[in-house]
Structures are given as C-alpha cells and as structure tokens.
Amino acid sequence: MQILQLKETVTFMRYRKPAMIFSLLLMLASIFSLYTNKLSLGLDFTGGTLIEVGFKEPANLNKVREVLDNNGYSDAVVQFYGSSRDVVIRLAERQGAKVELLGNEVLSTIKEGTGVELDMRRIEFVGGSVGDELAEQGGLAMLTALICILVYVAFRFEWRFALGSVIALFHDVLLTLGLFSFLKIEFDLTVLAAILAVIGYSLNDTIVVSDRIRENFRKVREGSASEIIDISLTQTLSRTFITSITTLLVLAALFFRGGELIHGFATALLFGVFVGTYSSIYVASSVALGLGISKEDLIPEVIEKEGADQEQMMP
C-alpha cells in the first residue's frame, strides 16, 4: 500500500535544484532592478498634492494630461476615481506653493485647455516628512511580520520549517518589488497593503504544506524525507490549486475592471498569489529538505515514566 502511494506521488523534489536556481536568478534580477530603476514611489511616500475634480461629462484623460503637460505640470498623474466623470490629479511636492492656490491654478488650466465645465471636489497635501514616516513604518511592518512568523513557525513546527517559510516570504516580497521596479508601476500605500496580504496568503499555504509534511513524517514508515515531502505536496495540491484559482479569478476582475486607482493593488496581489503558491512548494519545502529535515526531528520523544522498569520486572 505504501509503495503504491509513493508511485502515484508527483515528484516535486526531483526538480528542486533547478527551481532553486531559477528562484535565485529571479531574486538577483529583482535586486538589480531595484538598485538601478528604484521604485516609482507614489505621493503617499514622496509627498505632494492630490486634487479631485468632477466633470459634467465623461473626461478625456489623454486630453487632460496633454493640457497639464503643456502648462508646466509634466509630473501630473491623472486617473479616474470611481467613474469616468471623477478624476484624481497627483502632483509632486512644490516648494513654497500654497495648496489652495495650486489647486485653483490646475482647475483653471484644465478648464481653459479642454473647454469643459468641472468643479473642485477636494484637495489634499502630503508633506515629504509624512511620506518618509510612512515608508519607514511600512518597512518596519514587513520586518515585524517576518520576525513574528519565524518565531511562530519555529515554535509550531521546527526551526528548519521556520527558516524555509521566512525565506519563501522574503522571496515573494522581493520578486513583487522587483516586478514593480522593472515595470515602473507606482508604489503607494495600497500596494504596500497588497504585499502584506501576499505575506499572509503565502504563509497560510506554507503552513498547510508544513502541517501535512509533519503528519506524514509520523505516519509513513517507509520512504526518504524527499519522498514524504512529495507525498505531502501531492495531497495538498488539489487544495492549493482550487484556492489559488478562485483567488486569481477575483483578482483578475479587480485588475481588469477595478479602475486605475486599485490597479497597483490588484497587480501586486495577482503576482504575489502566483509566486506564493510556487514558493510554498519549491522554496519553503526545498529549504527545509536542504537543511536536513528528517523524521526524528518531527516525531515527539517518548518519555518513560519513572519506575516503568521496576513494574516490568515485577511478576
């Protein structure tokens, strides 16, 4: 029965070395992109002015961008906000410029350039110091999450699984940041929230796999550590596949129909769910196997009761 189970198992670990090399190359490429291209930080981090205007009829974003670009606002980011008549304009921080005056100037510029009626809905200013604080707090949030996960998984399972889980999460976050750097997609607070959500999703998948590996290490008497990990991954494959597909379907709807405002959020989650599923198989499990995880590490020690020897000798 045990031999049949091993024969029907998908041999994931056979390809763990090529997969690890592939992951390492992607991580190096992400680091290179982050070093050369940097991240295109949004106003949440760099500081600047956000202006929301309402049009009487559907707005032509290309025309609005052209008008602003021709009048000294080449750094303006123009996006729809909820509907085709509501538009958000983001401007980089300008030294010495008053927020209300800047808003009125932008409003007048668009009116004269497009010849359409519009009104001011709101105007907000984010200072550079606030943006720096947000960036610092966001980085600390991710670091704290990784440390807490390392402690939890080490206590819940075994330190090899904990290290594998944290490396897998670092892998997911780095590749997602590399994607945003390579494609030069704006990185704002919604994207940061998506990356934290990716950490939670990937961790959940890794915990499920780790729990099944621990269970099979105790149940399966025959087979190497690699074969038992393959059995565990095969048993959780259907659950992983169904969860990933249903999540990706929802995220695809947000990506294509959610509008520009959450485009970065949906992009980060779409890519993060994909790499998170991959890393739970070929990063977390491979690292644990490479560190020498074995049955003895997960089988609880049997503690003999005091006086057991004397009871066995008694007639």
What is the CATH code for 48-126?
3.30.70.3400
Instruction: Report residue 253 as tokens.
Output: 């709807």
Question: What is the spatial distance between Cα 58 and Cα 53, in angstroms, rounded to a whole number?
Answer: 12
Instruction: Please give the pLDDT value at position 297.
Output: 59
Beta strands 77-80 and 186-187, pairing class: unpaired
Instruction: Please give the pLDDT value at position 56.
Output: 82
Whether 7-40+130-298 shares its CATH topology with 48-126 is answered: no
Q: What single-letter DSSP state applies at residue 74?
A: T
Instruction: Please give the pLDDT value at position 4.
Output: 40
Beta strands 186-187 and 40-41, pairing class: parallel
Instruction: Report residue 142 as tokens.
Output: 């991710």
Instruction: Report residue 67 as tokens.
Output: 């008008």
Residue type, 197: A
* Positive or negative torsion for Cα 46, 52, 55, 58: positive
Of 255, 254, 213, nearest to 230 (Cα)?
Answer: 213
DSSP symbols for 77-112: EEEE-SSTTEEEEEEE--TT--HHHHHHHHHHHHHH
The residue ranges of every structural domain in the chain are 7-40+130-298, 48-126
Beta strands 40-41 and 86-92, pairing class: unpaired
Note the pTM of the prediction, 2 decimals.
0.74
Question: Tell me, which fold does domain 7-40+130-298 have in CATH?
Answer: Multidrug efflux transporter AcrB transmembrane fold (1.20.1640)
Q: Which helix (H) or strand (E) holds 187?
A: strand 186-187
Instruction: Please give the pLDDT value at position 135.
Output: 67
Strand partners, 50: 90, 124
Reading the chain (315 residues) residue by residue, the pLDDT tens digits are: 343 444 477 888 888 899 999 999 999 999 999 999 888 877 777 777 778 888 888 888 888 888 888 888 777 778 777 677 888 888 877 766 666 777 778 888 888 887 778 888 888 776 655 556 766 777 787 788 778 877 877 777 778 888 888 888 889 999 999 999 998 888 888 888 888 888 888 888 888 888 888 888 878 777 788 888 888 888 888 888 888 888 889 888 888 887 667 888 899 999 999 898 898 888 888 888 888 777 665 655 544 555 545 555 554
Question: Cβ contacts of residue 123 below 8 Å, gap of 6+?
Answer: 49, 50, 51, 52, 99, 100, 103
The number of C-alpha atoms within 13 Å of 56 and in the hemisphere containing its C-beta is 7
